[in-house]
Structures are given as structure tokens and as C-alpha cells.
Structure 1
Amino acid sequence: MKLIHITDLHLMPPGETLWGLDPLARFDAALADIAAHHADAALCAITGDLTEKGDIAAYALLRERLAGFPIPTRLILGNHDDRANYLKVFGGADETGHVQHVLKHEGRHLLFLDTLKGPPSSAGLYDAPRRAWLEARLAEGGGAPAYLFMHHPPFDIGHPLMDLIKLDDAEAFAALIKGHDIRHIFFGHAHRTISGSWNGIGFSALPSLNHQLPLVGGSVETVYSDEPPMYAAVTLADAMTLVHSDAFMHRNPAQMHADAERGNWF
């Protein structure tokens, strides 16, 4: 199965910029690039912070853009989102009132989780009602390989700022998924390219489409930085999960003749 992962759009109402950057223009560029090069993907997953301030106008822009996008797309919420406003535009709450859903595809279960805690905290929360929902969905999977999509990581990522605002109830979350065949966790929130394993589970995160967090605080003068936005092209297979991150706005020709290095490399 091929899918596309995007995260942290931070869309603003029409015509507004964020930290000197245009989130909508970057999102449009990402969608155009994905449609041009990855139209064969079965799914696009966007893992939260869909908007910067949870404005209905920003959600309406998102809905408008996705209406013309050729790949089916699943959305979840991040700490910058507003659940009530999102539901007014998109609907789709689960029985607990959260934005959670399941996709079964080729014997795999893809689970999309709502970790939005709500203001004033930027941390995540996966409380008892949501844990019960996930436990029931995992049980329904009958042992099928599962892939989790969430905004907040349930573990430290080695970034002093972001580790303060990860998933609050991380230990309960870890206990819930223990013993299940969780193949990979895709998350946002970090505004950086990150990959590794946690308790034997692979994970990956991506830069925002708008602004990033410097790996080392003080390496730039501001809290946020302007580093290349990326999306990921992901392949889910029985024996592996393959994640390619693509800095689509910085894919420029090298200083070389167009016919150079076209020979046989093997």
C-alpha cells in the first residue's frame, strides 16, 4: 500500500500569512506536487494542526482544496485545531465525540487518533473514552497489522521544548497498545524529520508545511525557523515500512549537464 503523509499545515484565513510565510500557498504546492508524482497513492493522511487558530474559514479553505485533490484524504486534529469548528465544516465525530476513524486496506488496519487536549495546553491527551475506542478497534482487528496516525508523540523525541508538550498520558497509551501488532506510528507536532523505534515500534515524523523548530535552540534567533517543508511517500508492505521524505519546494536541478550521469551505474 502506498500512502502520503503530510502534517502541520497551520492554515490561516484567506490572505493571511504566518511568521512571514504563506501556509496556503505551501499547501497548494504540496498538493500539486503529490498529484503530479504520486497519484497512484491509495491514501493521504494529514496528522493535525490543520489550522493555526481553528478558524472556520481556514477549515473551509482546507475542505475546498481537498475537494479537487485526487487522493482520498484522512484528517486528524492537533493542538492548534478547534474540534467544534472542525466538526462544523467536516463532521465525522466518533461515538465519543472525537475525530477518530479506521481504514481497513489489504489486511492492514490504519487507525487515526484524536490527541487534542484543548487550550490552554499544547500537550496531547488520550483519555479513558478515547483509549476505550482504540482498544475496541484493535480488538476488532483480530491481530491484523496496525498503523497509528496521531498528532502528539507518546514519548520524548529529544527536543527540550517539544518533550514538554507530548502526549500527557503516555504510560497509559503504551500499556494499551502493548501486545498488539503495531507496525508504525506516524505523527506530527515535532516540525522536524524524525524516525526511530519505540518499544520495538517504528515511528516517523515530518517537518511542517509552514515553519519548523530548530533542532538546537539558539541556532537561529527566533523560536521557529524557515527550513524546507516536506511530505512523505510511504509504502506499507508485509516485511517493512518504507518512508521517503521529499523537500518538494527545494527540488532544483544540480549544476550539471542534463545528459551527465545517464550511463549504466551497475
Structure 2
Amino acid sequence: MKFIHVTDLHLVPEGEVLWGLKPIETLDACLADIAKHHADASFVAITGDLAERGEIAAYKLLKQRLENFPLPVPLLLGNHDDRVNFKSVFSDAALDHGGFVQQVREEHGGVFLFLDTLKGPPSSAGLYTEERRQWLTQQLDKAGGRPVYLFMHHPPFFISHELMDRIMLDDPEEFAALLQGHDVRHIFFGHGHRAVSGVWRGISFSALPSLNHQLPLVEGSVETVYSHEPPAYAVVHVTGEGIIVHNDAFLDRKPAVMPADAERGTWF
């Protein structure tokens, strides 16, 4: 199966600019590119920071863009989001028994779990409370040994980025304990505004750039906290043998300086 991963939209009300960029224009380009090239995907997961300040106007912009989008779009919350405002606009959003924005999808023999790690202001760190842990425990038990794929905003581990490691998930050990004994194959997250991949306690993981601004890998490599680097979305293939993640910098995809018919049919 194939699905798409997008993260950190940081939408602002119509007409506003965020750090010199227009988030809604990049989202429009992203959705159009996905619809054109990946209409066969099962879903598009957006892993949080949907809005820069959690404003109702920003969520309304997002809802408007998704109304005619051809694929299902599970939405997660990040530290920039406001749960109350989000639910007031997305009144049909999937929620768990405690009102947290959590849901499960079962497709192609796998269980896809979408988690709510929003702690709330003034902290930008994440939190996975006991009530939310109960829901995850129930879903992992229901999986019955089937492959599980997790989606969340905050990583439950260090990603070797000095700034972001201060605001990861607050309760990583408690979270890790929940996963023991279950076939968790991969964790997809956002928050870091960078392409990151690796293995944590035997579980592979991946993250990708924001759709708006990025965080430079090395502090001081640019003069500002944030940087302008290419946004991307991820195309994920889940096969019988493993997981393949392609990051596509869709706004920077340009023809090479070469004749259109060069190098065709000469590789095999």
C-alpha cells in the first residue's frame, strides 16, 4: 500500500505572511501535487502544527482546502495547535473516549494509529497522559499481533537537535513501555522541521521538513532561529518486506539542463 505523510503546516489567517512565507500557498501546491501524482494513495496523514497560533480562521482555511480533496486526511495536533478551536471547526474529527484527537485506521493487514501529543501552552513539549495511554494500550491489544504504524507530532526520543530535544515528548519512558510486546513497525512524526530517520529501540522512524519554515541543523549556520529550506512531503510504501519512505521536495522539482530525450532507455 501507499500513503502520504505531510507535517507542520503552520497556517495563518488568509492574507497573512509567516516568516516571509505564505503557508496556505505552499499547502495548496502540496495538495495539488499529491492529487496529481498520488491519487492512488490510501490516505494523507498530517502530523500536527496545523495552525501557527491555533486560530479558528486558520483551521477554517484548512477545512476549506480539504473539502474537495480526493483522499482521506487524518489530522493530528501539535504544540502550536489549540484542541478546542480545532474541534469547533472540525466537528466531525475522530476522537477517543476522552475527547483527544486520536483515531485508528485498519488497512492492508496493518493498524495505523494517530496520536494526540498536545500538552498545551506555555510548553512546546509533548505529553501523553494516562488517559491517552489507556486508549493506545487498548488499540495495541486489539491489533492482535498485526503490524502497527504510529503517527504523532512529538518524537518520544532525542533526535540530536539541541533545540528540539528540549521539547520532545515529556514522558518517553512511559510511552516506550506501552509499545513493548507489540509489532510496532515504524513511527512517523513531525515537530523537528527536518528530514530525520533512524531506529529507536528496534523501531524505525522518519520525519520530514515543514511545509513552511525549517530549523537549521546547526545553530548559527544562519542568523535566525528558523531557515528557508525546501518543503517536502513523504511518499510511503508499506510492502510485505518492509517500509520505503521517499521525501519529495515538490516545489524544487525542475527539469535538468539536458535534452528531453537524453538518457532515456540507456540504463538497462
Q: TM-score range by the shorter chain?
A: over 0.9
Moved over 4 A (4+): none
TM-score norm. by structure 1 comes to 0.99
CA distance in structure 2 between the partners assigned to 1:262 and 1:87 by the alignment? 50
Superposed CA deviations along residues 79-114 of structure 1, whole A, max 9, x for unmatched, are 000000000011333211100000001210000000
1:54 counterpart residue number: 54
CA distance in structure 1 between the partners assigned to 2:211 and 2:187 by the alignment? 19
* 1:33-72 equivalent positions in 2, closer than 5 A: 33-72=33-72
The answer to whether structure 1 residue 88 and structure 2 residue 88 are counterparts is: yes
Residues 137 and 18 (structure 1 numbering): CA distance in 2 closer, same or farther, change over 3 Å? same
> Which residues of structure 1 form unaligned runs of 5+?
none
Superposed CA deviations along residues 121-155 of structure 1, whole A, max 9, x for unmatched, are 00000011000100001111111100000000000
Amino acid across the alignment from 1:227: E
SS at match of 1:52: coil
For residue 196 of structure 1, the aligned residue among 192, 195, 198 is 198
CA distance in structure 1 between the partners assigned to 2:200 and 2:152 by the alignment? 15
2:187 counterpart residue number: 185
For residue 168 of structure 1, the aligned residue among 147, 167, 170 is 170
Deviation at 1:263, TM superposition (A): 2.8
CA distance in structure 2 between the partners assigned to 1:79 and 1:110 by the alignment? 22
Superposed CA deviations along residues 204-256 of structure 1, whole A, max 9, x for unmatched, are 00100000000000000000000000000101122101100000000011111
CA distance in structure 1 between the partners assigned to 2:205 and 2:72 by the alignment? 23
For residue 137 of structure 1, the aligned residue among 136, 139, 145 is 139
CA distance in structure 1 between the partners assigned to 2:238 and 2:67 by the alignment? 26
Percent identity between matched residues is 65
Deviation at 1:49, TM superposition (A): 0.2
For residue 239 of structure 2, the aligned residue among 237, 246, 261 is 237
The answer to whether structure 1 residue 249 and structure 2 residue 251 are counterparts is: yes
SS at match of 1:139: helix
Superposed CA deviations along residues 11-63 of structure 1, whole A, max 9, x for unmatched, are 00111110000000000000001011001101100000000000001101101
CA distance in structure 2 between the partners assigned to 1:262 and 1:137 by the alignment? 48
CA distance in structure 2 between the partners assigned to 1:63 and 1:106 by the alignment? 28
Superposed CA deviations along residues 165-216 of structure 1, whole A, max 9, x for unmatched, are 0000000000111111000000000100011110010100010000000000
SS at match of 2:9: coil
Deviation at 1:264, TM superposition (A): 2.3
TM-score norm. by structure 2 comes to 0.98
CA distance in structure 2 between the partners assigned to 1:137 and 1:247 by the alignment? 34
SS at match of 1:73: coil
SS at match of 1:148: strand
SS at match of 2:74: strand
1:225 counterpart residue number: 227
CA distance in structure 2 between the partners assigned to 1:164 and 1:239 by the alignment? 35
CA distance in structure 1 between the partners assigned to 2:149 and 2:87 by the alignment? 24
SS at match of 2:259: coil
| Aligned alpha-carbon RMSD (Å) | 0.7
